[in-house]
Structure 1
Amino acid sequence: MSMAENFSRRSRMVLLSFGLSRSLLIGTIITGFLIGLAVLSLVWTPYSPTGMNILRKLQGPSMQHWLGTDALGRDVLSMVMVGARNSLSVALIAVAVGMGLGVPLGAYAAARGGMIDGFVMRMTDLAFAFPALLTAVIITAVFGPGAVNAMIAIGIFNIPVFARITRGASMGLWKRDYVLAARCAGRGDVAITLDHILPNIGHVLIVQATIQFALAIVAEAGLSYVGLGTQPPMPSWGKMLNDAQTYIYDAPHLAIFPGLAITFAVLGLNMLGDGLRDILDPRVRRER
C-alpha cells in the first residue's frame, strides 16, 4: 500500500471515529483553546504583556483585569496568552527537532541492523542515563539562557526517544511478506522505509509526538522557572510561577493562573494522545 493510500485510509478512519472518542474530543477542545489563545496573542492582548503600571500592582481579578495584575502592574491574562505562545512555540520546535533527527536515525538502525543498530541503541541508552530536565539545564547553562537554546536542549533529548520508538516499531515490519516482496522487486531501504515502514508506524509516532509535546511544555516551564528559558521581558508560564513565590499569600492568583495553564496544556495533550491512539492503533480497535 502506498503512502498516499495509507494516509487517505487513516484520515477517513479519524473522521469517522472522531465523535466516538471522549478523550480525543476533550483533548482537542483544550489543546485547540490554548492554541487559539497563542495565535490570538500575535495580534491582540487586553493590555501590553510588558506594560507596567505600579498603581495597579497586585490587584485581584476584576472587570478591568480578568485575571488580575502582578507585582509590576502587568495584566496577568495578557501574560498568560503570550506565555502560551512562547511555551507552545518552544515545544513545537523541540518536538520537530526530535522527530526530524530521531525518526531517520531509528529507521536507519532498523533497516541496517547488526553493528549499526547496536551502536545507535547504545548511544540512546547513554542519553537516557541522564534525566531530561537535567540535560536541558546543563545545555542551557553552557550555551546561555534563552528560548532558542531551550528549544535545542529539549529537542536533543527528544532525538533518542523518537529513535527508539521508530526502531522498535519498525523491526517487525522488515520481516513482513510485503517488505520481502519489495526487496525482491529491487526496492532499496530508503524506498521501502518511505513506502511501507513509515506509513505503518505513523500512528505510533503521532501519539508519541503528543506525549513529547506535553513533556516539552513542562520542560520549558521548568527552565524558565530557574531562569534558563524564555528571558524577560517576554512572559513565560514558568517565570510567572517563579515571580509568584514572593506573593503566594498576598496574591495567590499570580501562581494559580499560570499553574492552571500548564496543567490544562499537559492534560489536553495527553488526552489528545490517548484519543489518537484509540483511533489509530489497530490493536486497540480490534479490542473494541
Structure 2
Amino acid sequence: MAITLYKFLKQLRKTFTVDIMSSQAFTVEFAPTNEERLKALHISGILVTPYFSNSNIVFMLENKLNLVLKTESIPFAKAEKGMLVDKEYELIRALSINNISTINMSQEWLFKTGFQYFLNTIGINYLDEEPITLDNCNSSIFSVSPISLDEFITSISHLSKNLVFLDMKKENSKLIVENPSIPFTTNDIFAIKDAGVDTIISFYLSSQRLPLYKEANLNLIYLNHIDYMNILLRKLAQIIQLDVEIPALFLPQDSIKLKTLHDYEQY
C-alpha cells in the first residue's frame, strides 16, 4: 500500500496539529513543493531516524522506503565556492536517483511539543502545559503529575543509562526542557524559577553552570541528546505508522559514551 506525499503531509498536520505547508516544525526539504507533483508522488514507506547519511540508503531500498523524517538538515550550507564536497554530493545524488524525499523536524518542535511523545513512552499520556516567554525563545512548562519527581526519574532512568540527576530540592513535578540549540540564559533560569518550575531537563551539562542551578534551587536532569532522540523518534514512528497505515521504520543512532563530568561539557 502507498499514499501520496500530499496525503501524508495532510495526515502529519492532523496528527501533530501543525500546518506542515506553512510551519517550520516539519520542513519538506528534498521533495517537490508544487501541489500537483506532491499528489503524484507516492510514498511506500517511511524511515524515521535522528541523523541521515549515505549508509541509510541501502536500508531504505531493502525495506522499500522512500521518505525520511530526520532531525538535521542536509548540509547544503557547508558547500564552499559553490561546490559540494564528495560526501554531500553523493548523498544528494543517491536521494535523486532513488526518488527519496526528506522532511526535517525543527529543533523547537522536538524539544517542546515533541517532549510529550517522549513522555508517552514512560506512560504519561496527558500533560498540563503552560507557555512561558524567555530571552531567546518561547517554551513550555510541563507538569508530570500525578506521578512524583522520584517516580519520573526512575521511569526515564530505565530508558537512558546516560542520565545524570542533580537534586537541589524535591517538591512538585513541574519541569521545562532546554533546547540545546538555544541554551537558557542566566535571566531565563531565574525566570523559570519564578514561574514555579522545580526541574530543568537539559542536554548540556557544564560544571560552570552547576552553581547557578544551586543558587536558583532547581533540580537538573541531564539526558543524553541521542538517547532522547531515539526514545522520542521511536514513539513518533509508531504513531505515524498507525495513522498512515504504511510502514514507518525507526533506525536508532548509537549513543555517545561519556565518562566524566568534564566530558559532558562539549555537548
Superposition TM-score, scaled by structure 1 size:
0.28
The structure with higher relative contact order (CA 8 Å, sep 6+) is: 1
Name the one with the larger strand percent. 2
TM-score (norm 2): 0.30
